[in-house]
Amino acid sequence: MARQCSRSGCSTPASMTLTYQYNRSVAWIDQLQSERDPHAYDLCERHGKRTTVPSGWRLEDRRAVYHFITPNRLAG
């Protein structure tokens, strides 16, 4: 069974996980964790895109970014 978004009233399937470290004033958005963590928030795409952090905090999106590698014409 797919996990749902942690936002109240949202029943959309979660697609990412939000965690934070209060003493460093940083929050991270990662790929959806394989298991539910009571200290993290699973978010749907809509709520993940709308996530903001308090003034003075940093928000880092650590989800995998796929890069297409183009073969070098000089490669032998």
Is the confidence at residue 1, as pLDDT, over 80? no
Task: Give the residue extent of every domain in the chain.
Answer: 1-71
- pTM score, two decimals? 0.79
Residue-level pLDDT at 39: 95
Longest dimension (CA), the chain: 57
Residue-level pLDDT at 64: 76
Chain length of the chain? 76
Q: What is the pLDDT of residues 19-51, one digit of tens each?
A: 999 999 999 999 999 999 999 999 999 999 999
| d(C-alpha 20, C-alpha 29), whole Å | 9
Is the confidence at residue 73, as pLDDT, over 90? no
